[in-house]
Chain A
């Protein structure tokens, strides 16, 4: 068995016991990236990474090995490679959000999560592909490359953290950081057959996370096992005074009691989750998984989340509204892409001439100023279609006359969704259900139908709206050989409960050990 087949917790044990070095481990992973990920353009491989600085990674690994040899503290992730979604600022390194807009951006600071990873001794092995600005569910909205599902190269890895899910599934990194605004960790984890957790909103700092929808965005771990996810979450979670929305509460060591089963676990299932549109294979896998809990002494109770059917509608008001505001800053003035200003001047001169010759003074008066046109050209050239669509949607929802009907209304229904969860968790410990309605869909299948693509988030968005944690763990395979995920959701700040519940299941099954067969 090669090092890249081992879970991170095992790799850590080997390094601590002197049986392996970070350099050996990092080298093997870099070789796998070299072998499997394809060229920079994304052809001929998984295409999970946008940037990979092998030399820097090896240098960092050597540094950790040296520290460990010298008996110094190396941190809880000491020497473990971790891939990071290209949406968290890494000082003086590329942080593109898979957007032309930020292709040249090199942040002058580290995101808190990146800083914590560095302090924990992680070897940052590469930056993973994603939907542009994390908007999408297939990673097809990346401006740079197409990531493929390691289980089937014709299928999507999911998104927006598709690169992170794919690189872990393909064995190119033991662990990765993803972000989840409406399901962007759990859905790709499910479609790629790995563990992915969206923690409670506020559990992990958003400082340095390039914002998509500020009130929904959350950073979380992706890994092959719950143990590895627990390890990574412990390293990144915790209060950050640079993030006003960060929760000031003690973070347990999630690895400590992971193996301890939860006695008398009360599992809630939501009837609406098993309704129309759910793939029968997914339904069977999820129901079987719930059966496993029952066999472990758990009880199952049906709970009602009457407003969850509105979750996607609420989400597609709140997320685009916040996004339209968060992305307004990309205007080509202080950082990022700027259009050719000379071309803008020429364009305007030609336009003015045309209007004047046509005697259309009104059109001349209404022309953009050169600054406004520079903004518009910059943004039109710098953003991809999905980002534009959401920015438009958000600007519309917030514009004069519509605020009450859309944004305010959505915030009210959001509270009702949260109250449904609060009530449900008075009766059950966790809620179990599907992550997605079906296994990975084909690349290109939904690009022309934004609304269908949005409905993919059906089972995941309500956790973001309510701010509660959710985890996706492998729970089956479809007849066509595609992974299926089980989602567990818990009350706010109960990440430990979710991880322990997930571990109970993991111990009884071997879905998490399945790996795709990868060709060079």
Chain B
């Protein structure tokens, strides 16, 4: 049933992703400077994050806890002991000339994330998480054209911001899987409120390690691994991976270079040109001279505490999708769309459904009309003008017939505009439920006035009855076209 990507290509692409997410803390990882985005350059720094002589780091408790929550949700093992290491390299945006990170004893390892595609473009799979560890961010270098001397300007506001680096196993086999992994990871971290995962603000960054497995005469050959950087959207990741696969295939055909024949290469994605370009490798880039940071104490944690955090986890997207399917009978696709809107939208769905008992209808409203308005207005759902209860009321009124289907959008718009309940909006629009006996009376009148239609229907042209529906709506705008149609057909059949 699923189309196999590999079958159409002479190779399999092998992808591992390294994702850095900024943790949602107030202050930095090792000092108490604020992590606010967009402040003026060098206005959020102190001796510690400038790396001033004599300054010392003190670990942010919240950053560790957020990392822990994420790692546990990613099914990682949490070792009882973790420590901080210095990763040493020189760069102007790294003022200490080392980054405080975690090397051989990360805070978590050996987890996984399950991905699937509701449109079945690939088989559901489990992507291994090698490790997730904490580290501090570097600052920013901006080329300063203004000075005319070709200087770069360094801003250290971001220096020391807490990051969680999540390293996957090379388990992905297509750009679609990679994108799904990123989407699921982002969704998970957003549900956990561990990070806002805002790619535009750099709160989520992706590097990819890519190579090809080529079947050559029944033997599997791997091409050299390439690391791709500078991908600024999930779409860019997808494009870069597809481009890189083809490029590596070309290079393989030209050179026949295998894994181990060439050192690991770093390439940057040029989104405008749609290509990856080789980056100059640093002279001694691989020699980071890691060693335990003597300024920071290790962190220990008990299995009881890990269990406690696990117990306290919010309901995760995968579990929520399953529950929406099992308890609310939503399709896999609907559940996916709803869950992807975020926890607030799902809660809105729950409340509205409770008010009307119609999950499918509510889901349609939430994922379509409600979502359309929110997008237009760039509004979060908790600020939406129609409360979940009110939407539930609308769905209930539609079900009871109090609000006829065709007029429901009108009612919805008015509820939104004037913050009214469904009943109030319907009343203001002059919508009244049409009594069944009134409806029958109306149909009889119409059939009497249109003998031609009756004849056509009797002659087998059921669709002729459609002409009556328009006339009925003119006489009473509140009538339900479906009911009119059925009633007219019934009356004709019964020979009335």
Residues of chain A whose beta carbon lies under 8 Å from any beta carbon of chain B: 88-89, 95, 97, 102, 105, 107-109, 111, 206-211, 213-215, 241-245, 321-322, 324-325, 328-329, 331, 333-335, 366, 371-372, 375, 395, 398-400, 403, 407
Whether B256 is near chain A, meaning CB under 8 Å from some CB there, is no
Shortest C-beta distance, B396 to chain A (Å), equals 58
Please indicate the chain B residues that have their CB under 8 angstroms from the CB of A331 in the complex: 90, 97
Chain B positions within 8 Å of A335 at CB level: 50, 52-53
Contacts of B56 in A (CB 8 A): 206-207, 242-245
Tell me which residues across on chain B come within 8 A of A243, comparing CB atoms.
56, 58
A399 CB, min distance to chain B CBs, angstroms: 6
Question: Whole-angstrom distance between the alpha carbons of A274 and B53 in the complex?
Answer: 39
Q: Are B291 and A398 in contact (CB under 8 A)?
A: yes
Q: CB of B2 within 8 A of chain A?
A: no
CA of A395 to CA of B98, assembled, Å:
13
A105 to B92, CA, bound (A): 18
Look across to chain A and name the residue whose beta carbon is closest to the beta carbon of B50: A334
Residues of B with C-beta under 8 A to A242: 56, 58
Q: Mark B39-61, 1 if CB is under 8 A from A, else 0.
A: 00000000100111111111100
Which residue among B54, B95, B294 has the maximum number of chain A CB atoms within 10 Å of its CB? B54
Q: Which residues of B contact A245 (CB under 8 A)?
A: 56, 294-295, 297
Known: A215-B294, A395-B289. A329 touches B54 (CB 8 A): no
- From A109, A375, A403, contact of B52 by CB (8 A): A109
Complex Cα–Cα for A176 and B291 (A): 34
B88 touches A325 (CB 8 A): yes
B297 and A108 contacting across the interface, CB-CB below 8 Å: no
CB of B434 within 8 A of chain A? no
A335 and B50 alpha carbons, distance in the complex (Å): 9
**Chain B interface residue count: which class?**
20 to 34
Closest to A324 in B: B289
- Provide 30 A-B residue pairs closer than 8 Å at the C-beta atoms, listed in order of the A residue: A97-B53, A107-B52, A108-B47, A109-B47, A109-B55, A111-B54, A206-B56, A207-B56, A209-B54, A210-B53, A211-B53, A243-B56, A243-B58, A244-B56, A244-B57, A325-B88, A325-B291, A328-B97, A329-B95, A333-B92, A333-B95, A333-B154, A334-B51, A334-B52, A334-B154, A335-B50, A335-B53, A400-B287, A400-B289, A407-B291
Contact of A329 among B53, B59, B289 (CB under 8 A): B53
Closest chain B CB from A61 CB (angstroms): 26
Please give the distance in Å from B263's CB to the nearest CB on chain A.
14
Nearest-neighbour CB distance to chain A for B476, whole angstroms, equals 76
B355 at the binding interface (Cβ < 8 Å): no
Compute how far the CA of A111 lies from the CA of B47 in the bound complex, rounded to whole angstroms.
11
Residues of chain B lying within 8 A (CB to CB) of residue A241: 58
Q: Is the CB of A105 within 8 A of B96?
A: no
Residues of A within 8 A of B297 (CB): 244-245
Bound form: Cα–Cα A207–B295 in Å: 10
Q: Nearest 3 CB-CB pairs, A to B?
A: A328-B97, A215-B294, A214-B294
Q: Which of A108, A371, A398, A403 has the most CB of B within 10 A?
A: A398
Answer whether residue B86 sits at the interface, using C-beta atoms and an 8 A cutoff.
yes
Contact check, A329 vs B97: say whether CB atoms are below 8 A apart. Answer: yes
Does B296 make an interface contact (CB < 8 A)? yes
Q: Which residues of A contact B294 (CB under 8 A)?
A: 213-215, 245, 322
B residues whose Cβ falls under 8 Å from a Cβ of A: 47, 50-59, 86, 88, 90, 92, 95-98, 154, 156, 283, 286-287, 289-291, 294-297
The answer to whether A329 and B287 touch across the interface, beta carbons within 8 angstroms, is no
Min CB distance, B87 to chain A, in Å? Answer: 10
Nearest B residue to A403 by beta-carbon distance?
A: B291
Q: A107-B47, A111-B54, A398-B291 are in contact. Are A244 and B59 (CB under 8 A)?
A: yes
In the complex, chain B residues whose CB is within 8 Å of the CB of A208: 54-55
Tell me the bound Cα distance from A407 to B286 in angstroms. Answer: 18
Task: Tell me whether A321 and B291 are in contact (CB under 8 A).
Answer: yes
Of the candidates B54, B97, B289, the one whose C-beta lies within 8 Å of that of A398 is B289
Q: Which residues of B contact A215 (CB under 8 A)?
A: 294
Contact of A108 with B92 in the complex, beta carbons under 8 Å = no
Considering the complex, give the chain B residue whose CB is closest to the CB of A215. Answer: B294
Complexed CA–CA distance, A480 and B220 (Å): 81
Q: How far is the CB of A306 from chain B (nearest CB, A)?
A: 25
Closest Cβ of chain B to A204, distance in Å, is 13
Asked if residues B90 and A211 are in contact (CB atoms below 8 Å), the reply is no
Given the complex of chains A and B, what is the CA–CA distance between A97 and B94 in angstroms? 22
CA distance A210 to B294 in the complex (A): 14
Given A242-B56, A329-B97, 11 new contacts (CB under 8 A): A108-B52, A206-B56, A214-B294, A244-B297, A245-B294, A245-B297, A328-B88, A328-B96, A375-B90, A399-B287, A400-B287
The smallest beta-carbon distance between B362 and chain A, in angstroms, is 51
> What separation, in Å, do the CA atoms of A407 and B292 have in the docked complex?
10
Q: Which of A89, A244, A325 contacts B53 (CB 8 A)?
A: A89
* A260-B369 Cα distance, complex, nearest whole Å: 85
Chain A residue at minimal CB-CB distance from B84 = A244
Contacts of B96 in A (CB 8 A): 328-329
Which residue of B is nearest A328, CB measured? Answer: B97
In the complex, the chain B residue whose C-beta lies closest to that of A407 is B291
| Distance to closest chain A CB from B242 (angstroms) | 32
CB closest chain-B residue, reference A88:
B54
Complex: A324 Cα to B296 Cα, angstroms:
17
A305 to chain B, nearest CB (A): 23
Q: How far is the CB of B139 from chain A (nearest CB, A)?
A: 10
Measured between beta carbons, the chain B residues less than 8 angstroms from A95 are 53-54
Residue of B nearest to A208 (CB): B54
Task: Give A382 Cβ to nearest chain B Cβ, in Å.
Answer: 13
Residues of A within 8 A of B295 (CB): 211, 214, 244-245
Cα–Cα, bound, A111→B55 (Å): 8
Contact in complex: A89, B54 (CB < 8 Å): yes
Cβ of A196 to closest chain B Cβ, rounded Å = 21
Which one, B55, B88, B95, B296, contacts A207 given CB within 8 A?
A: B55
Docked complex Cα distance between A403 and B88 (Å)? 14
Closest Cβ of chain B to A219, distance in Å, is 11
How distant is the Cα of A334 from the Cα of B92 in the complex, in angstroms?
Answer: 8
